[in-house]
Structure 1
Amino acid sequence: MNTTKESPLGASLKTTKINTKILLALLWVFYNVNFIYCDSLLRLEPGAIEGIMSGYVSNGTVKITSGFLLGTAIIWEIPFLMIVLSWALKYHANRWANIIAGTLFVVAQIGSLFLGAASSMYYFYSMVEIAALLLIVWNAWKWRNTEA
């Protein structure tokens, strides 16, 4: 959908509304890149490597087991899958998949703030990730089917 508005200086500005499927997929990409960078930078914090070598993460609060690694892999596959699903699913399933996945990951991200002593870098990335997830939920919630 194209709209034309006049700027305060009198110039005509033409804008194009981005397709909701594309917007949701892009927000999931943005979210994924941020959590990858955050997890990478966490390994640079003092004591992080020693903690991993001793078999623990999150400042010694979570033991690394094969079950923990598998569970983490399965959980973190969901945001990557949401990139594809946001593009591929039809309206109704797409909308609810984004609302549910986005909400679950907001809750998970908030919960992660209470595991061990989080650094200021972790708080920063958490706020960015939560903002992206809230944008996903909000855009999916306000999305109205124009295909019908």
Structure 2
Amino acid sequence: MVSARSQRVPLQHLTGTASLGPVTVHVGPGVFIPRPETEALLEWAMAQPLGPQPVIVDVCTGSGALALALARHRPGARVLAIDDSDAALDYARRNCVGTGVELVRADVTTPGLLAELDGGVDLVVANPPYIPDGAVLEPEVAQHDPAHALFGGRTGWR
């Protein structure tokens, strides 16, 4: 493990897990590793006043960590987790077994996506790619997180 870390392999890839709030999820090559910065989004989302059975949509779910944490925080919620990466959804599927979180493989920029939910969503959370193309990143990120989950175009906002 020390040798791999000296090669800048993320600790989460070596252990196969990462934590976000109250949940620990499986991670590895092909899926974005939840970061401590995402805790702020989770804390904000958990503080929102919602009814007893809200509909929550997690856009760009990756491993499903945010969706799982919100589902745990709001047991009566319907939680949908959307991603367009097969590799990420493989991890999300493994992480969400038995939780009721609904996984959707889709490009979130598709017009009419989940039209049946129009007007019926109580909370949308997202941790989309937001790093400008060409940004210099730590090797643990640049060499091990999928570029598709990191880079958001020239300005970071495709």
Q: TM-score, normalised by structure 2?
A: 0.26
Q: TM-score, normalised by structure 1?
A: 0.27
Higher RCO, Cα 8 Å, sep 6+: 1
More helix by share: 1
Structure index of larger Rg? 1
More strand by share: 2
